[in-house]
A and B are shown apart, each in its own frame.
Chain A
Amino acid sequence: MAVEGGAGRELLRTMWRIRVFEERVGQLTRADEVHGLVHLSSGSEGVAAGVCGQLRADDVVYSNHRAHGHAIAKGAPLAGVMAELMGRDGGLCRGMGGSMHLVDAAHGFLGATGVVGGNVPLALGSALAGRLQGGDQVAVVFFGDGAVQGGIFAESVNLATLWGLPVILVCENNGFAEFTPRSAHTNVERVSDVVSPYGLERETVDGNDVGAVRDAFARFLAAARAGGGPALLECLTVRLRGHYEGDPQLYREALAADEWQELDPILRLQRRGLEEGWLEADAPARLEQEARDEVEDAVHAARESPFPPPGLTVELVYAP
């Protein structure tokens, strides 16, 4: 299926917003305006955009510690995410969650969790709830290849297939689990092979090719909406930055700039759009600039927001 016209521009817009937002977060981290632990998804924007762009507001997304892109692609407002990262009362979670625990319930972004693999069964619960309500909503959970070696992953895949739950497991396989290459974690190269005995639909795609992500996910989504069970989409992608901001990355060689230009999901789609004629020559620069303006507005709005009142720490321990 071709990516073109409006859909292509929308994917580019989403990816640029994530790319520029996270670049800015990196700068603000170094300036200590974003004060805590931050993991950037730069390089994997194509997965977030290709998947979340097809979801409805009532579809649910769970994410992991590398969550900004997923939240933004699911519709979370940039200012709300930025204010959260700055620990402000105007943040999505009023400054109580931060980068690793973003939640935007209004947009079906039910949450990011900071323990690898901990989010997978949560998505099963959303999928179950959707089924029990008789609806066709779908749950999606993003995780890295590092989560796959945990028992929680096997338990969740087993239960999801056993109960036929409408959950789509999206693995961002960037070849590194935190600071360790996949080869030091497992003998199984492809995550889609790990799940083969359970009998769920599965596919491995080039995660830097947004069109491929979008098409594969579209098939799984249609099946889950129609009452089908779970599926696993493995997206081979790249983590341009370290595990966290500040990671010296002694465990790997940096990707050469020209090599990355070939892989970059944004540049690839732009090249394709220009070649295929659905993207105007000035559109890439314009899309990037629009994203930069939007991100700056978000930074300004976040700076204007006060820090949360200390009483919130006690008030929120229990739901009333």
Chain B
Amino acid sequence: MAREQLPYIGAILEAIREEMQRDETVLYYGQNIATTENDPFLQAFGPDRVRVTPISETAEIGMAVGAAVAGYRPVVELYMAEFMLVAMDQVVNEANRFHYMSGGQVKVPVVLKAGYGFTAGWAGQHTGTIYGMFMGVPGLKVAVPSTPADAKGLMTASIRDDNPVVFFHHYLLTLEHGDVPEGEHVVPLGQANVAREGSDVTIVGIGWTVGKALAAAEQLAADGVSAEVIDPRTLAPLDTATILASVEKTGRLVVVDQSTRHGSAAAVIAAEVASEGFSSLKAPVQLVCALDATIPYSEPMEEYILPNEAKIVDAVHQVLSPTAA
């Protein structure tokens, strides 16, 4: 019997809970968690494995990295992705390099759980879509789930992975509900999902923009345009093979990303396709990104700066137009 749908955030927490039940080395630390005795994680796993930390990102992430080197699998609750920025040395210069620089002697299975993209009036410092800063960092893996089911499966895979993983969950998806498999559910890191099949154009969405891309594809279908929607699900490793195979079929590519254009994953994906799939392309690649600007506070301005369905549909029409090539 199918169970009720779960919200995206519930699916993530279910993955953490199930992995903590399965493996005693999984720890859950971070800011603003387990602050009351009634906290379900605290009750289930006790204060050794579940603990609130001070607002000391560098020490908290560094300690988790050290515990990972020593054989544990910490999940660090970072609350806001931007809070990682104050601890960048630990994220992009320690955690990710230990396995490599030790010649493979040690491994660092740590998960940094970071909410991002909260473009709902949270203004300039709590809305960043900053995964582009991490996807090119050697040794890090970067997960960007777009659905509750993938959120669970990718979190499970992230905890089991022997490498540091930055798990970006989108705040605007927090309460989006969906079907989530009960019990063990693993979505391998590095495997894109073809979210919708189509033949005229490939639209790659990332995280929150996968839903936007699917909605645009639905609208395009009404106009007789068959759009294929690809969700990479992880940006590192990036499943370029699935994207290239799709572009080989459709000949046209639109990449949708909430990031600023010049710091986006979209730019990297476009470069990979231009470099490896140029002969398949019938039109220049279109990027639908946020403007290269800080997210403003005012609501209509927020809307102006971000990708949306209409912008995606426009971009698709551009790559399909006879003059595009």
Of all chain B residues, which has the CB nearest A316?
B100
CB of B177 within 8 A of chain A? no
CB of B122 within 8 A of chain A? no
CB of A103 within 8 A of chain B? yes
* Interface residues as binary, B44-82 with A (CB distance below 8 Å gives 1, 0 otherwise): 000011010110101111111111111110100000000
The residue from A62, A96, A132 contacting B102, defined by CB atoms under 8 A apart: A96
- For B100, what are the chain A residues with a Cβ–Cβ distance below 8 Å? 96, 316-317
Stretch at the interface among A48-56, A86-94, A205-213, A214-222: A86-94
* Interface residues as binary, A98-112 with B (CB distance below 8 Å gives 1, 0 otherwise): 000101111000110
CB of B40 within 8 A of chain A? no
- For A319, what are the chain B residues with a Cβ–Cβ distance below 8 Å? 99, 104, 107-109, 162-163
The residue from B65, B98, B99 contacting A121, defined by CB atoms under 8 A apart: B65
Residue pair B67, A129 in contact (C-beta under 8 Å) = yes
- For A139, what are the chain B residues with a Cβ–Cβ distance below 8 Å? 66
Cα separation A180 to B162 with both chains bound (whole Å): 40
Give residues 259-290 of B contacting A (CB, 8 Å).
none
CB of A97 within 8 A of chain B? yes
- For B182, what are the chain A residues with a Cβ–Cβ distance below 8 Å? none
CB of A158 within 8 A of chain B? yes
Residue pair A111, B106 in contact (C-beta under 8 Å) = yes
Q: A125-B70, A126-B70 are in contact. Are A105 and B48 (CB under 8 A)?
A: no
CB of B308 within 8 A of chain A? no
CB of B89 within 8 A of chain A? yes
Of all chain B residues, which has the CB nearest A157?
B59
Residue of B93, B94, B138 with most chain A CB atoms under a 10 A cut-off: B94
- For A317, what are the chain B residues with a Cβ–Cβ distance below 8 Å? 100, 138-139
Residue of B59, B68, B138 with most chain A CB atoms under a 10 A cut-off: B59
Of all chain B residues, which has the CB nearest A103?
B102
Residue pair A121, B58 in contact (C-beta under 8 Å) = yes
A37 to chain B, nearest CB (A): 14
CB of B202 within 8 A of chain A? no
Residue pair A125, B66 in contact (C-beta under 8 Å) = yes
Q: A111-B98, A317-B139, A319-B163 are in contact. Are A94 and B54 (CB under 8 A)?
A: no
Cα separation A318 to B58 with both chains bound (whole Å): 23
Residue of A130, A155, A156 with most chain B CB atoms under a 10 A cut-off: A155
The residue from A126, A155, A312 contacting B66, defined by CB atoms under 8 A apart: A126
- Number of residues in B with C-beta < 8 Å to the partner? 46
Cα separation A103 to B70 with both chains bound (whole Å): 13
- For A92, what are the chain B residues with a Cβ–Cβ distance below 8 Å? 103, 105
Residue pair A159, B53 in contact (C-beta under 8 Å) = yes
* Interface residues as binary, A123-160 with B (CB distance below 8 Å gives 1, 0 otherwise): 11111111010000001000000000001100110110
CB of B169 within 8 A of chain A? no
Residue pair A121, B66 in contact (C-beta under 8 Å) = yes
- For B62, what are the chain A residues with a Cβ–Cβ distance below 8 Å? 118, 120-122, 124-125, 152, 156
The residue from A110, A129, A152 contacting B72, defined by CB atoms under 8 A apart: A129
- For A310, what are the chain B residues with a Cβ–Cβ distance below 8 Å? none
A-B contacts, 7 of them at CB < 8 A, read A93-B102, A96-B103, A125-B63, A125-B66, A128-B70, A318-B141, A320-B162
B residues adjacent to A (C-beta < 8 A): 27, 48-49, 51, 53-54, 56, 58-72, 74, 89-90, 93-94, 97-109, 138-139, 141, 162-163, 237
A sample of 16 more A-B contacts (CB under 8 A), given A122-B94, A152-B62, A319-B104, is: A94-B104, A96-B101, A97-B103, A106-B105, A115-B89, A124-B59, A125-B68, A125-B70, A126-B70, A152-B89, A155-B56, A155-B58, A159-B60, A316-B99, A317-B138, A319-B162
